[in-house]
Amino acid sequence: KQEVTQIPAALSVPEGENLVLNCSFTDSAIYNLQWFRQDPGKGLTSLLLIQSSQREQTSGRLNASLDKSSGRSTLYIAASQPGDSATYLCAVDTSGTYKYIFGTGTRLKVLA
């Protein structure tokens, strides 16, 4: 059974710092991996999607990498801003049916 874990559970950094959020999964047979941002009362927003054949995806200050063989993905946030404060979730689709298994999340706080 696929399990998704995220480390750290919480992170507090000063504004401007570059940071890395980690996601690990137990079964390397995944179809897609997505990183989401969750803001209170606003649901989830998809940030980046990496297909199983891809190694990384970039969007603005965000870069996500995928290493299926080791069961890991990282989300790199460059030059963090207070507006980046949110909970970040990674999720994996193991069957190509959009049935995602979510990680435990990393609660990020960027201090001004």
Chain positions contacting other proteins, by CB under 8 A: 32, 34, 36, 41-46, 49, 51, 89, 91, 97-105
Nearer to other proteins, 32 or 80 (CB): 32
Q: How far is the CB of 97 from other proteins (least distance, A)?
A: 8
Cα–Cα distance list, 40 to 20, 37, 91, 107, 108 (Å): 22, 10, 18, 11, 13
CA atoms of 33 and 82, how far apart (whole Å): 26
**Minimum gap (Å) between residue 99 Cβ and other proteins:** 6
What are the structure tokens assigned to 71, written together?
A: 């069961």
- Compare residues 14 and 43 and give the one whose CB is closer to other proteins: 43
